[in-house]
Amino acid sequence: MPVLGFLLINTAVLYRQALIAADTAYDRTLLATAKSLGEQLQVVGTAQAPQVQSSLLYSALEAFEADNRSRLFYRVNGFSGDMVSGFEDLPAPRASLPEQNIYAALVHFYDEDYRGTPVRMAVLLQPVAGAAGQGMATIQVAETLELRQTLARQILVDTLWRQAALVLVIVGVVVLVVQRATQPVRALSRSLAARSENDLSPLPVADAPRELLPLVEATNQHMARLSQLLDHQKRFVRDTSHQLRTPLAVLKTQLQSARRGDVEPAQALDEIANTVERATELANQMLALAKVEQLREDRDPPVTDWDDVLRQVALDLAPLIAERSLDFSLESRPAPVHAHPWALRELCRNLVHNAIKHSPPGAPLTVVLHATSVEGTLTVSDSGPGVSAALRDRLFQPFATETGDSASGSVGLGLTICHGIVQSLGGRISLDNRLSQGHTNGLDARVQLPLALNAPSTPQANPSSTPS
C-alpha cells in the first residue's frame, strides 16, 4: 500500500512534468512560426506615417502544423497596435514580458482560451525596418493543445507500464522474502502447537535464526518460570497431603480412644487440642510457604520499615517470652526495605519464635537490627544447642529438623519460609553456631537485606531492652 500510494503521487507529478516537457518542446515550434511571420513583414508609407504590411497567407502556416490534431492561429499588430493581418478575435497580448527568458528573442509564452478552446500563446516583439521607417511589430501565434496532451499522455503511459512492472517485481520479491523469512516462525508455531499442555521444556536455540533468538530466549525464560511454578504447586499439594495425613490420623485415633473411655475426658480433650493446634500451625505454615512463591513474582514491593515490623512481632511474642522467663533484649534502628509487611512479619516471627522455642528457660535471647548505608542486618541470638554440621545444609529444606537435638524430632517449615522470603527480597540468610571455649552456647540467625536507598531513614539508633 505505501508503494501504491507513492506511485499515485508520482503519476500526478509525472503528468505535470510531461506537460511542461511538451510545452518546452513545442514552444520552440511556436517561436519559429512567429519568426517566420516576422520575416514576411515590411514597412510602407511615408516617414511621417510608416505602416507595417504583411504578405503572408494562412496556407503558409500548414508547414508548421505537425498533424491535423492541432491548429494554428496568428495575428500581427503594427507599430501603433493596429491589426495588420491574422485573426481579428485572437485575444490581445498580455502587457508584460517575463523577467527570465531562455530564448534569444523578445518572446513569452502563456496559456490562453480562444473560441472556448485552450491554446498555447506565443507573443514575439519583432523589429521591422524599411525605407519609410522602423519600429516594433507584435506577432501572436496560438496553437491548440491536442498534440501536447497526446505527447504527455504517451510519456505517462510508457512510464506507468514500467512502474507496473516494478510493482510486480517488488510484490514477487516481498512475497518470496517474507515466506523464507517467516518459515522459522511457522516452524516454531507448529512445534508449539504440537506440544502437550504439560510440556514446558525449552525451545531449541541452536537452529533458531538470529532475529528470533531474543523471542526464543524470552519464551524459554517464561517457560522456566512456569515450570517452577507448576513444580511448586505439585510439591505443595504433595507435602500438604503427606504432612496433614499424620495429625488427622492421630486425631482420629484420639477420638476413638475417647469414645471407648480409654482415657479420662479431660486428658482426651487436652490431647485432641494439642493435635489440632499442631495441625493448624502446619496448615498455616503451608499457606505461608505458598504465599512466598507469590512474592517472587512481585517486581515492585512497597517500602516498609523493618524496625516497626520487628517491634510489633516482639510485642506479639511477649507472652511466650514471659512464659519461658527468657532474658530478652531488643536493639533496633529504622531500616526501610522494599518488602511487603506480611513478608517481614513472617520472617521476624519465625526467627524469633524458633529462638524462643529452642532457648532454655531463663536463658538470654538477643535481637539486634542495625543498618549501614546500603544494607540492614537482623541478628537473632539464642542460647540453644545450635546446629550440627550434617544438619546445616538441609535446614532450609521443608520439614527438616530445625535443631541439632535429634531427640526432639521437631520438624516444620519455619526456616524454609524464612529462606524463601529472603531470596524473594534479594537478601542473604545464615545460621552460625556461637562458640565459647570450644563449646556451642547458642545459635546466631542472621538476615541481610538491601535497604531502600531513596526512602527517608533516621541514622540515629533507637535501642531498647526488655528483660522478662
Tell me what pLDDT residue 39 has. 81
Residue in the block written with cell 538441609: 394
Angstrom CA distances, 61 to 30, 33, 178, 299, 445, stand at 11, 8, 62, 90, 115
Checking if the pLDDT of 402 tops 50, the result is no
Where residue 447 falls among pLDDT bands split at 50, 70, 90?
A: very high
Tell me what pLDDT residue 404 has. 39
Q: What is the rounded average pLDDT for all residues in the chain? A: 80
User: Which of 54-58, 408-412, 444-448 is modeled with the greatest confidence?
Assistant: 444-448
User: Which of 214-228, 360-374, 400-414, 452-466 is modeled with the greatest confidence?
Assistant: 360-374
CATH of 214-296, one of 1.10.730, 1.10.10, 1.20.1630, 1.10.287: 1.10.287
Q: What is the pLDDT of residues 295-320, one digit of tens each?
A: 666 667 889 999 999 999 999 999 99
Q: Read off the pLDDT of each residue in 210-222 and give the average, rounded to a whole number.
A: 84
Ranges of CATH 1.10.287 domains, the chain? 214-296
Checking if the pLDDT of 410 tops 50, the result is no
**Do residues 112 and 91 touch, judged by C-beta distance below 8 A?**
yes
CATH (residue range 303-450): 3.30.565.10
Three-state helix/strand/coil letters over the chain: CHHHHHHHHHHHHHHHHHHHHHHHHHHHHHHHHHHHHHHCEEEEECCCCEEEEECCCHHHHHHHCCCCCCCEEEEEECCCCCEEEECCCCCCCCCCCCCCCCCCCCEEEEEEEECCEEEEEEEEEEEEEECCEEEEEEEEEEEECHHHHHHHHHHHHHHHHHHHHHHHHHHHHHHHHHHHHCHHHHHHHHHHHCCCCCCCCCCCCCCCCHHHHHHHHHHHHHHHHHHHHHHHHHHHHHHHHHHHHHHHHHHHHHHHHHHHCCCCHHHHHHHHHHHHHHHHHHHHHHHHHHHHHHHHCCCCCCEEEHHHHHHHHHHHCHHHHHHCCCEEEEEECCCEEECCHHHHHHHHHHHHHHHHHHCCCCCEEEEEEEECCCEEEEEEECCCCCCCHHHHCCCCCCCEECCCCCCCCCEECHHHHHHHHHHHCCCEEEEEEEEECCEEEEEEEEEEEEECCCCCCCCCCCCECCCC
Tell me what pLDDT residue 462 has. 43
Where residue 62 falls among pLDDT bands split at 50, 70, 90?
A: low
Q: What is the pLDDT of residues 260-287, one digit of tens each?
A: 888 888 888 888 888 888 778 777 777 7
Tell me what pLDDT residue 239 has. 67
Checking if the pLDDT of 348 tops 90, the result is yes
User: Which of 13-17, 197-201, 440-444 is modeled with the greatest confidence?
Assistant: 440-444
Checking if the pLDDT of 412 tops 70, the result is no
Tell me what pLDDT residue 172 has. 92
Ranges of CATH 3.30.565.10 domains, the chain? 303-450
Q: Which residues pair with 368 in a beta bridge?
A: 331, 379
Where residue 35 falls among pLDDT bands split at 50, 70, 90?
A: confident
Q: How far is the C-alpha of 286 from the C-alpha of 414, rounded, in Å?
A: 10
Least confidently predicted of 166-180, 184-198, 240-254? 240-254
More confident residue, 349 or 455: 349
Checking if the pLDDT of 229 tops 90, the result is no
More confident residue, 429 or 288: 429
User: Which of 47-51, 400-404, 460-464 is modeled with the greatest confidence?
Assistant: 47-51
Which percentage of the chain shows pLDDT scores above 70?
84
Checking if the pLDDT of 65 tops 60, the result is no
Which percentage of the chain shows pLDDT scores above 90?
17
Q: Read off the pLDDT of each residue in 422-440 and give the average, rounded to a whole number.
A: 85
Tell me what pLDDT residue 158 has. 85
User: Which of 140-144, 204-208, 239-243, 248-252 is modeled with the greatest confidence?
Assistant: 140-144
Torsion sign across C-alpha atoms 86, 89, 92, 98: negative
Half-sphere exposure of 186 (CA within 13 A, CB side): 6
Q: Read off the pLDDT of each residue in 325-332 and give the average, rounded to a whole number.
A: 93
Q: Which has the closest alpha carbon to 394: 381, 404, 384? A: 404
Where residue 414 falls among pLDDT bands split at 50, 70, 90?
A: confident
Checking if the pLDDT of 438 tops 50, the result is yes
Q: What is the pLDDT of residues 282-293, one digit of tens each?
A: 777 777 767 776
